[in-house]
Amino acid sequence: MGKVSLEGIEFHAFHGVYSEEKKLGNRFTVDIHVETDFKKAMLEDKLDDTVDYSRLYQIAKAHMQEPVKLLEHLGHRIVQDILASYPGLPKVQITIKKHNPALGGVVNFSVVTVSYPEDYR
């Protein structure tokens, strides 16, 4: 068993509950971690035998372009698409950070982490 990850993927997107978030948008960082059995890929050097991280990026990018209110919902949607592309993955974890959330004070990030299967029990 091994882990394939993308860390620090940055997007400008329009997720949020408040009207100014929907108009101005914000900077977001996404981290994706998936556990998979890539023993065959280690031995045979074939992309089809592992999780293609360019596919993970495309899934995240597509969802970041579709505004939602809650980061929890966004994380869930990304997890579901990863599982649809790679059925049988034992673990998927998505962390989404909203930079400088408008909370009336200095806050670097608001952060949501969605993990499969933990958050799906």
Q: What local confidence, expressed as pLDDT, does residue 58 receive?
A: 98
- Tell me the domains of the chain and their CATH numbers: 2-120 (3.30.1130.10)
Q: What local confidence, expressed as pLDDT, does residue 121 receive?
A: 84
pLDDT tens sequence across 89-116: 999 999 999 999 988 899 999 999 999 9
97 in catalytic set: no
Distance CA 58, CA 41 (A): 21
Q: Which segments of the chain does DSSP mark as H helices, in order?
A: 19-24, 39-44, 53-64, 71-85
Quickly count: other Cβ atoms within 10 Å of residue 71's Cβ: 23
Q: What local confidence, expressed as pLDDT, does residue 40 receive?
A: 96
Quickly count: other Cβ atoms within 10 Å of residue 64's Cβ: 21
Instruction: Report, in angstroms and rounded to the nearest whole number, the Rg of the chain calculated over CA atoms.
Output: 16
**Which residues pair with residue 12 across a beta bridge?**
27
Distance CA 11, CA 98 (A): 10
pLDDT tens sequence across 8-64: 999 999 999 988 889 999 999 999 999 999 999 999 999 999 999 999 999 999 999
Distance CA 27, CA 97 (A): 8
The catalytic position among 40, 61, 91, 98 is 98
